[in-house]
Amino acid sequence: MDSLTGTSAGTLFRNEDNGYSVISLRTGEGLVTVTGTMPALMDGELLELEGVWTEHPQYGRQFKMSSLRIQKPQTLSAIEKYLGSGLIRGVGPSTARLIVETFGKDTLEIMSTQPERLTEVPKIGKIRMKQISRSFLEQQASRSTYIFLQQYGVSPALSAKIYKAYREGAEAIIRDNPYRLIDDIQGVGFLTADRIALSLGITQDSPFRLQAGIKYALQDASVSGGHTCLTEDELIEKSAELLKAPGAEIKRLLDELTLKRQLWVDLVAGTRWVSLPSLRKAEIDIARRLLSLCGVSQQFMPHHIQGRISQFEHERGIRFSKAQREAVSQAAAHGLAVITGGPGTGKTTLINCLIHVLGSQSKILLAAPTGRAAKRMSEASGMEASTVHRLLQYGGEEGVFQVNRENPLNCECVIVDEVSMMDVFLMRSLLDALQPGTRLVLVGDADQLPSVGPGNVLRDVLKSGMVPSIRLSEIFRQEQDSMIVLNAHRINQGQEPVLNSPGSDFFFEHKPDASQAAQSIVSLCLSRLPQYLGLKDSMRHIQVLSPTRKGVCGVQMLNARLQAAFNPPAPHKAELQFGETTLRQGDKVMHIKNNYQLEWELRDGSTGQGVFNGDIGFITGIEAEDRLVYVLYDDEKTVAYEYGELEELDLAYCLSIHKSQGSEFPVVILPMVGGPKMLLTRNLLYTGVTRARQLVVLVGRQEVLSMMVSNNLERRRYSLLQHWLTILSGGADL
């Protein structure tokens, strides 16, 4: 093994996916070419390397590195160069200069031990201080772990997570049993752990490996398909294919995992169902809590309820149907009620009526799974509504709900809208936060797409028949003139929608191929619809929704077309390339995953935390040098995204129908151009159409529309909540 010392003098090649790099190293004998897997390096860093000399047939003599040590910079210019190299998120050359001018040779020590002092630097506020400090400490602390893990293709961000969990013992723990990473580190799946394990010499038939693979197959079914369980036969088949192992051995190890209570097997109607303990417990807890709520009687007398309903009808000038009146009565008289129905059936009006019936003396809390759904709920009721996560105060150091069984909600009633979007974990957390005697009303459309997370809560509850529920089908009188509402119900019933009738709000524009459809969608958004409707800000009012991500009329390509039309490049617009996406000042973007720690700042300087999946905003500024992107949400909340957080942003000129759940838009445009049959379903079309308030425009081929209406294929989602509700209601003891 040879040793080599020198300073980095430029990166000749780097693969960001695996960290493999070719660099120039300045030594006492001149420039040397060094190859190997290494962290991103800045020019001028002092390196101590170990490896071997090799002779490349084309590039000549090279040093093939096996390990390296990086010395801290000592001089002011070296410190400034190090900070401004791009390795510290949020710090570019100009910011680095200001930091070094403020703290001199003590800069690195202060950033390590007193990061709060960064606010002494001009242009650095509290939020930015936290961002810089976090990035600096992660970069410092995780470099050795990063160097070890990068040879296995682990990303820098994930390396930082692993280091944070295991600290200095990271390498020893991973060498001992890499499969621990799956259980301990969010973001590490079986494939990553398996790659490390096999590289370290763990054999393919190792029980560690096979048992980890079985659990992974079950976890993957939860993440990719929303299942809370799989049949034993299906799990064995999936695991055997993944692990290239005999089914009999998989069955033996599955039995071992069951005995150790790492997995559960339940016999339901002659079928053996396998569950992860966390998902099984979540569904059982939900069933128990819902049934206990059903047994709670409320203080309102029937005559009082009916009188208050009549008063509400008189004040609003409306007349409820029998089912609508019954829905309010049930919700007021019971500890738990479920109200479900399609668009125009009066769910929002019933929520307002229930608030009226319960009276001003009752403390009522309103919530929905997404920020946009909560905002709609607030506008419709005149009361504040929040996301379920905010209601339960998600956050803190541990990233948990602060409102829970020990610290429950202080209220008489909780009303939740868009319940179809709630997965088993969120529903369980909500139920845990209710103190005895609190009324719960769940409202939603059971025909919408299910939650992104695991479970099928609303449908399972309704199918069980064990919970007081009302299904609304009669369209409210005020909505009967809307073809959006009428066509949504026609689609849901498998009937062709009525198109292009005079004075309609539901149009179909025929285009024979996908390219023509895409061109038409752009012109509709940019000029034709704004002129027709008199829209001044069409980006805020018009939303394109696509059933697919790929293809000419898929989300990705339509976003590129619409971005070029609405927000073309210009000298005064800063932009940033992130992967295959160009983010530009003025772009319409969506936050695509819940991030409860992400900080925002209001115009008055006050701050808070939490940006959620489905939040739509606009890029107001880009600091390319410091790799920061500023996004304004709801015209009031500004979020500064570091470069490493940009994966949580996506262009939002066009959204997938799945991503649009819980949102409503004045105008919706839907391409009808074909695609995989499993995506072009009645359920998906229904969900897309019901996102529009004022106008729906379908663009494409009539036969594609007809095919979607007739395609009632639904990807089955395995869950056991209905089963637990049934057997627990019969007095079973689990």
Q: What is the pLDDT of residues 345-370, one digit of tens each?
A: 889 899 999 999 887 668 999 999 98
Query: Averaged over 213-226, what is the pLDDT?
Result: 90
Quick one: DSSP state of residue 525?
Answer: I
Indicate the pLDDT class of residue 144, thresholds 50, 70 and 90. Answer: low
Q: What is the pLDDT of residue 452?
A: 81
Is 416:367 a contact under the CB 8 Å cutoff? yes
Complete DSSP assignment for 465-478: --S-EEEE-SPPGG
Going from the C-alpha of 591 to that of each of 128, 166, 453, 657, the distances in angstroms are 20, 30, 17, 15
Q: What is the pLDDT of residue 41?
A: 77
Distance CA 664, CA 475 (A): 19
Q: What is the pLDDT of residue 177?
A: 85
The one-letter code for the residue type at 56 is H
Q: What is the pLDDT of residue 69?
A: 77
Per-residue pLDDT tens digits for 281-330:
999 999 999 999 987 655 556 667 888 899 998 988 888 888 888 888 88
* pTM: predicted TM-score of the whole model, two decimal places: 0.76
Distance CA 15, CA 25 (A): 18
Is 546:534 a contact under the CB 8 Å cutoff? no
Per-residue pLDDT tens digits for 488-530:
999 999 999 999 888 889 999 999 999 999 999 999 999 999 9
Residue 453, pLDDT > 60, answer yes
Query: Averaged over 653-680, what is the pLDDT?
Result: 90
Is 542:535 a contact under the CB 8 Å cutoff? yes
Query: Averaged over 370-390, what is the pLDDT?
Result: 88
Q: What is the pLDDT of residue 288?
A: 95
Indicate the pLDDT class of residue 479, thresholds 50, 70 and 90. Answer: low
Q: What is the pLDDT of residue 731?
A: 72
Q: What is the pLDDT of residue 399?
A: 63
Burial of residue 27 (CB within 10 Å: 0-12, 13-18, 19+) is middle
Cross-strand pairs, 628: 623, 642
Which of the pair, 18 or 464, is modelled with greater confidence?
464
Helix, strand, coil fractions of the chain, as percent rounded to 5: 45, 25, 35
Structure tokens at 68: 């390296």
Q: What is the pLDDT of residue 208?
A: 86
* Closest to 689 (Cα-Cα) out of 455, 401, 392, 482: 482
Residue 28, pLDDT > 80, answer yes
Is 351:443 a contact under the CB 8 Å cutoff? yes
Give residues with Cβ within 8 angstroms of 283, minimum separation 6.
228, 424, 455, 719, 720, 721, 724
Q: What is the pLDDT of residue 522?
A: 96
Distance CA 557, CA 547 (A): 13
Q: What is the pLDDT of residue 155?
A: 62
Round the average pLDDT of the chain to a whole number and report it.
Answer: 87
Quick one: DSSP state of residue 407?
Answer: S
Residue 1, pLDDT > 90, answer no
Residue 613, pLDDT > 80, answer no
Structure tokens at 155: 């990303």
Tell me how many helices (H) and strands (E) the chain has.
28, 30
Q: What is the pLDDT of residue 257?
A: 96
Which of the pair, 647 or 690, is modelled with greater confidence?
690
Distance CA 391, CA 430 (A): 9
Beta strands in 494-633 (DSSP E): 506-510, 542-546, 575-578, 581-584, 588-591, 595-601, 607-611, 616-623, 628-633
Query: Averaged over 192-210, what is the pLDDT?
Result: 87
First-last CA distance in the chain: 62
Is 654:616 a contact under the CB 8 Å cutoff? no
How many residues does the structure list for the chain? 734
Indicate the pLDDT class of residue 671, thresholds 50, 70 and 90. Answer: very high
Distance CA 663, CA 546 (A): 15
Going from the C-alpha of 297 to that of each of 119, 329, 332, 413, the distances in angstroms are 56, 13, 10, 13
Give residues with Cβ within 8 angstroms of 444, minimum separation 6.
339, 340, 417, 418, 419, 420, 421, 458
Selection from 146-150, 172-176, 232-236, 315-319 with the highest mean pLDDT: 232-236
Q: Which of 209-223, 472-486, 487-501, 568-582 has the lowest mean pLDDT?
A: 472-486
Structure tokens at 646: 């940009």
